[in-house]
Structure 1
Amino acid sequence: MTTQPQDATAGHAAGAAIEDHAAIGDGRTVALIDRSGTVDWLPLPSLDSPPVFAALLDPERGGRLVLRPVSEFTSRRRYLPGTNVLETTFTTASGTVRVTDALITGVAGRLPWVEFARRVDGVDGIVVMDWAVEPGTVLGGASPWAEHIDGSRILRVGTVNIGVTGLTDGEDDPEAPRFGGRIRVGEGTRRTLTMVATDDEPLHLPVPGNVDIGIDRTTSNWELWSNTFSYSGPWADAVQRSALALKLLLYAPTGAIAAAATTSLPETPRGGKNWDYRFAWVRDTAYALRALERFGLREETHAAISWLLRAVKGDPAELRVLYGLREESSADPVEHDVPGWRGIGPVVTGNRAAEQLQLGVYGDLLSVALAYAAAGNVLDVPTRRLVSDVADRVCDVWREPDSGMWELTELRHHTSSKMGCWQALQAALQLAELGQAAGNPARWRREADLIHDWVDEHCWSDRLGAYTMVAGEDELDASVLLHAPSGFDRGERMRSTIAALRRELGSGPLLFRFTGARAEGEAPFVACSFWLAAALACVGDVADATSVMDDLVGRANDVGLYAEMIDEDGTFWGNFPQALSHLGLIDAALTIADLRR
């Protein structure tokens, strides 16, 4: 429950805390809503588009959607069960209202336009509400303007067209590029504010009555999706919420899965590490596909693997770390002259990691193909050839240094990258046994054994009693925990490594990414903490794994979402909601459930 000030703009100059946000989406874009009912992040028309509403990064000029009581209030919120429809209840001295927020979906899936509906229901008494639709400058790239056309309220920002319907209680300023006003909501009263948007195409203005039907239909669509969900093990509610969060990040037009819904939310108070995560990482896609397949979500599984294979087949000799959600997406970093969240810059679109060499992605890619084939699906002939080509390439390149999983600039012999190469060859061997890959399995098996022996000899520290971050050094890296579930090591060396990581990188159940991360000002990395739980289960410490999971599940925000990092005091850092964090939760829960049995 949160108490908010009377002034509708108070508190926004500093920016709402990352953990104070909830996310809604429609399969094409994602909106972030803070506890005050303010939307401070919404790219239009697509998740990777420039953000038309971006007060999260630019409080003065970024733009926002406001719907909140004028007087002091407390708020509590939840997702309607099994949905990504948000319900916020505001209580004031004069009454109570309930706001339902939804990005509307159609009868047969996403709409061809973006339709954001905000329904206000009076619960008791009378509450006066402020409302506003105020687009921003698109990170300094456009100047919004307003006009009335045949009685309709229209906003223009670059090529984006926005229509505002539903509320007639307006106080329009013809000189301001916004629409807004105040409404009185009494007990039993229902009012609806709708914003629709298109990009470089005509604008459809919905009939107000149809919008209300659309909110209920969207709720039913999400409930229907959740009813196909097939997990009833431990932490079922958290697993389902994580699956719903991943569904928000799945870009339906192509099947790509974004790493997060935002760009430039800082990883540290120092700033600098502010990257755009609205791209699809091969690694994240691999983890997501395993979860989606396990949950019986066939359409999403097929769409995601088809997207990934199309992307990779474009240039299989140069497998990239990440790809755009659309073919026209560019990962070239561009810095924007806006202040950033709470003034912590820079604000960047694009991500330099796109051009890095990370050998671990080979293991991610082939493990995706294996999971899909092992579930009873049939790989097409070009994909079977791709498997063989990638396996042969791994045999040649595993000895090279790379940037490692954490996208560092210095090329080194990262232990987890070598383990990922071993994982790739193991997956290729299993695909060959299934008759879904042709090539030279004898060579793959021989090189896999050489990788394992090399890691055992060069990447183990007797002094630390642990696998190290890089060969021949004494730094530690939590990403080696991924290779307990992969099967590289579930014995005493992995058990000893877990102990060393908890000792050197741990903060209770939380883990920092690698040696030096804490000194650089980072908070513990959420996914690493879930990897710890899964690895504990893999080495036989199921009770300890369960205890860690119980703690971590309780560290989500009030609606069950995670960012990239969580400080010891509960503060979120990094982009949000973060797919890898939710994938870590899902994978740990599934691993522990399997090993309990």
Structure 2
Amino acid sequence: MGFLTSGPDGLAGPVWATSEDPDGAATRPVPPQRYADLRSYAAIGDGRTVALIGRDGAVDWLPIPDLDSPPAFAALLDAQDGGRIELAPALDAALLTVTRRYVPGTNVLETTWTTADGGVVRVTDALNTGIAGRLPWVELARRVDGVAGSVPMRWRVAPGTCLARATPWIYRTTHGDVLRVDSITMAVRTLGEMDPQVHDQQIDGRFTTAPGSRHLLGLVATESEPLHLSTPEQLDAGVDRTIVNWQAWAGEFGFDGPWSEAVLRSALALKLLIHSPHGSVAAAATTSLPERLAGGKNWDYRYAWIRDTAYTLNALFRFGLQEETHAAVSWLLRTMRRHGPDLSVFYSLSGDLPGGHEYPDVPGWRGVGPVVVGNAAADQLQLGVFGDLFDIVRLCVVNGNLLDAETGRLLAGIADRACDLWQRRDAGIWELEEEQHYTSSKLGCWQALTCAVQLAELGQIPGDPARWRDEAERIRTWVHEHCWNADVGAYVWYPGTDELDASMLLHAASGFDRGPRMSSTIDVLRARLGAGPLMYRYSGMDAEEGTFVACAFWTVSALAWVGRRDEARELMDQLVPMTNDVGILAEMIDARDGAFLGNLPQGLSHLALMQAAMALADDQPAADPA
């Protein structure tokens, strides 16, 4: 059987052993069951779904056909039965050196293995896109180029149970072997001599590379519809087309400031989370990756949060990306009109109200459960979403768009609703069970009403903005009187406590406070919630979970907005290298060893990096109109 070892790069990698038949003859390798470090994953995507690929060459996560579909390949959460697509040298991991990069300006991954005797092989991974955008089917292409020497390779396509929903099977057709699980139909396509063998509801094989050789392992898949059998040559050509498509998109992205490479990589990571059929923005590509190793804090982030959508648009508008921003704004406003004026915290990627949640009987990453499909926070009251919504609309208008009359009337009613609700307790930005008068929630309503005033003055929403202006001033006064704790020297989490909440950092950027009180709050947050350059979300979390990546980058932005730019640059220089080897960020980082925790790629983490870079890009950052 296989077992875990530490490879040359310090990451755990599988060592393959062989099984023997009754006569003692060696047969095919027995695949090990393992969970890779979360830092080891790179992400590729096609505008509908995202695949995660480890440094060992295994695709351990691939929902089909959409990001929020049941995952046909989910070894990430169930190493035994989740399913994976493997492609790697058939050698002991200790004898291999692995390097990776994205093809510049793309979400196409290159992995290069070098053997101890000088053999070199390069694998290029793409979820292919079409001539005019995304394909109507999923098309994974794994191109294998021999670079030097000869390298023995092995591959395996083994669908899983879609998180304990169904059992995969294989059947023979006139077009070859077809794999099915639940309502998903898949076919393996190969280029070159790949020695495919069918057994145990999987297809695997071996081959050897040579200098200049080319092989390809491909998968085409659909759900509840006919399967298009792309030829291996078409899949191979699709890799080149996908590279061109990504580079054309990246060419429209403009940022020439410091950390430009990290900013572009974060923009490309965000692009993976934009669901092109609808325009919605997923919070992350995965579910149930733990925020703490003791378990119990696992969530499904394959939904579109109003908050995350607002931060995404804030960044993308700045970089001149028009199609994604228009699609996301239109999706959100269309979804709101469909479901009424009471805002949900998040919606499904298709714009439906979130349903219930369930706990599939699978072990979870490294046995840390529970695995959850769905999210129980859907019914919470979170007042901060008012500010997020109006910030989205304000950005839309100031970037040259006009609101339609129906949307204007809807927004006027929502502004009145914010006036009525701001004095209520809520669950806060962190979706907590205990409702309180959270400071950042009050400031979300303040931000909503100041934006509503501006939109009314621009003639974009109807009505007299006098009430909104007066109520915004009441909120400002209330926060100054009740949420500033002079003994602590900071804006506190809620009135009457000395505990802290890092989301207060966002309100330097919002324009609420960029003076001495905010500067002092930054210092207290770093002293009490900081862990080196990183930061926990709120008081007490150092004993429960990892540091929250976005909070550290929010600190950079807040330092820049209060004029402490040298400190902000120094902190930024410490944080940017904390991505993994290909620039991906998770939700959290364990301050003890740098390990990733939580779902990934995490949109909020990448957004915070981009916003921090933008805050530092101008010598004199100007306040956002609010």
TM-score category (smaller protein): over 0.9
Deviations 1:119-170 (A, max 9, x none): 0000011111110110001111000001221251210001100010115533
Deviations 1:515-555 (A, max 9, x none): 011122x1110000010000001111011011111111110
Helix, strand or coil at the partner of 1:378: coil
1:7 aligns with 2:31: no
Q: Report the AA paired with residue 587 of structure 2.
A: E
| Structure 1 unmatched runs, 5+ | none
* Displacement of 1:440: 2.4
Q: Report the AA paired with residue 288 of structure 2.
A: S
Q: Report the AA paired with residue 195 of structure 2.
A: G
Helix, strand or coil at the partner of 1:296: coil
Helix, strand or coil at the partner of 1:166: strand
Q: Residues 207-226 of structure 1: matches in 2 within 5 Å?
A: 207-226=231-250
Q: Which residue of structure 2 aligns with residue 475 of structure 1?
A: 499
Q: Indicate which of 22, 26, 39 corresponds to 1:19.
A: 39
**For residues 14 and 467 of structure 2, what CA distance do their matches in structure 1 show?**
67
**For residues 474 and 353 of structure 2, what CA distance do their matches in structure 1 show?**
39
Q: Which residue of structure 2 aligns with residue 503 of structure 1?
A: 527
* Displacement of 1:10: 9.1
Q: Which residue of structure 1 aligns with residue 22 of structure 2?
A: none
Q: Report the AA paired with residue 74 of structure 2.
A: A
Q: Report the AA paired with residue 143 of structure 1.
A: T
**For residues 39 and 315 of structure 1, what CA distance do their matches in structure 2 show?**
37
Q: Report the AA paired with residue 25 of structure 1.
A: G
Preserved CA contact (<8 Å) 2:331 2:351:
no
1:537 aligns with 2:560: yes
Helix, strand or coil at the partner of 1:314: helix
* Displacement of 1:298: 0.6
The 1:173/1:78 distance shift into structure 2, 3 A limit, reads same
Q: Residues 2-81 of structure 1: matches in 2 within 5 Å?
A: 2=9, 4-7=13-16, 13-72=33-92, 73-81=96-104
**For residues 57 and 88 of structure 1, what CA distance do their matches in structure 2 show?**
23
Q: Indicate which of 375, 383, 402 corresponds to 2:407.
A: 383
Preserved CA contact (<8 Å) 2:346 2:354:
no
Q: TM-score, normalised by structure 1?
A: 0.98
Q: Which residue of structure 1 aligns with residue 344 of structure 2?
A: 320
Q: Indicate which of 174, 186, 194 corresponds to 1:169.
A: 194
Q: Report the AA paired with residue 400 of structure 2.
A: G
* Displacement of 1:596: 4.4
Q: Residues 363-382 of structure 1: matches in 2 within 5 Å?
A: 363-382=387-406
**For residues 331 and 582 of structure 1, what CA distance do their matches in structure 2 show?**
28
* Displacement of 1:594: 2.7
Q: Residues 342-361 of structure 1: matches in 2 within 5 Å?
A: 342-361=366-385
Preserved CA contact (<8 Å) 2:482 2:495:
yes
Q: Which residue of structure 1 aligns with residue 547 of structure 2?
A: 524
Preserved CA contact (<8 Å) 2:356 2:374:
yes
Q: Residues 51-450 of structure 1: matches in 2 within 5 Å?
A: 51-72=71-92, 73-94=96-117, 95-167=119-191, 169-174=194-199, 176-327=200-351, 330-450=354-474
* Displacement of 1:34: 0.2
> RMSD of the TM alignment (CA)?
1.4
Deviations 1:417-468 (A, max 9, x none): 0011100011111111221112221111100010011111111111111111
**For residues 590 and 399 of structure 2, what CA distance do their matches in structure 1 show?**
38
Comparing 587-596 with 417-426, greater Cα deviation is found at: 587-596
Comparing 307-316 with 121-130, greater Cα deviation is found at: 307-316
* Displacement of 1:312: 1.5
The 1:306/1:10 distance shift into structure 2, 3 A limit, reads farther
**For residues 415 and 329 of structure 1, what CA distance do their matches in structure 2 show?**
27
Preserved CA contact (<8 Å) 1:2 1:35:
no
**For residues 479 and 353 of structure 1, what CA distance do their matches in structure 2 show?**
18
Helix, strand or coil at the partner of 1:74: strand
Preserved CA contact (<8 Å) 1:258 1:325:
yes
1:567 aligns with 2:620: no
**For residues 130 and 290 of structure 2, what CA distance do their matches in structure 1 show?**
35
Helix, strand or coil at the partner of 2:372: strand
The 1:575/1:461 distance shift into structure 2, 3 A limit, reads same
Preserved CA contact (<8 Å) 1:331 1:349:
no
| Structure 2 unmatched runs, 5+ | 1-7, 18-28, 622-626
Preserved CA contact (<8 Å) 1:152 1:165:
no
Identity, % of aligned pairs? Answer: 57
Q: Which residue of structure 1 aligns with residue 605 of structure 2?
A: 581
Preserved CA contact (<8 Å) 2:529 2:537:
yes
**For residues 107 and 314 of structure 1, what CA distance do their matches in structure 2 show?**
33
* Displacement of 1:317: 2.7
Helix, strand or coil at the partner of 2:67: coil
Q: Report the AA paired with residue 312 of structure 1.
A: M
Q: Which residue of structure 1 aligns with residue 23 of structure 2?
A: none
* Displacement of 1:332: 1.5
Preserved CA contact (<8 Å) 1:542 1:596:
no
Q: TM-score, normalised by structure 2?
A: 0.93
Q: Which residue of structure 1 aligns with residue 624 of structure 2?
A: none
Helix, strand or coil at the partner of 1:317: coil
* Displacement of 1:592: 1.6
**For residues 345 and 6 of structure 1, what CA distance do their matches in structure 2 show?**
26
**For residues 519 and 327 of structure 1, what CA distance do their matches in structure 2 show?**
36
Q: Report the AA paired with residue 432 of structure 1.
A: A
Helix, strand or coil at the partner of 1:48: coil
Helix, strand or coil at the partner of 1:162: strand
Q: Report the AA paired with residue 365 of structure 1.
A: L
**For residues 88 and 323 of structure 1, what CA distance do their matches in structure 2 show?**
36
Deviations 1:369-421 (A, max 9, x none): 00000011111111111221111111100000000000001111000000111
Helix, strand or coil at the partner of 2:401: coil
Q: Report the AA paired with residue 9 of structure 2.
A: T
Q: Report the AA paired with residue 27 of structure 1.
A: G
Number of equivalent positions: 595
Helix, strand or coil at the partner of 2:16: coil
**For residues 587 and 497 of structure 1, what CA distance do their matches in structure 2 show?**
20
* Displacement of 1:328: 5.2
Comparing 325-334 with 431-440, greater Cα deviation is found at: 325-334
**For residues 570 and 339 of structure 1, what CA distance do their matches in structure 2 show?**
24
Q: Report the AA paired with residue 510 of structure 2.
A: S
Helix, strand or coil at the partner of 1:335: coil
**For residues 411 and 465 of structure 2, what CA distance do their matches in structure 1 show?**
11
* Displacement of 1:207: 1.5
* Displacement of 1:172: 2.2
Q: Report the AA paired with residue 239 of structure 2.
A: I
Deviations 1:328-387 (A, max 9, x none): 574411101000000000000101111110000000000000000001111111111122
**For residues 505 and 61 of structure 1, what CA distance do their matches in structure 2 show?**
39
Q: Indicate which of 547, 557, 580 corresponds to 2:570.
A: 547
**For residues 154 and 329 of structure 1, what CA distance do their matches in structure 2 show?**
35
**For residues 250 and 329 of structure 1, what CA distance do their matches in structure 2 show?**
18
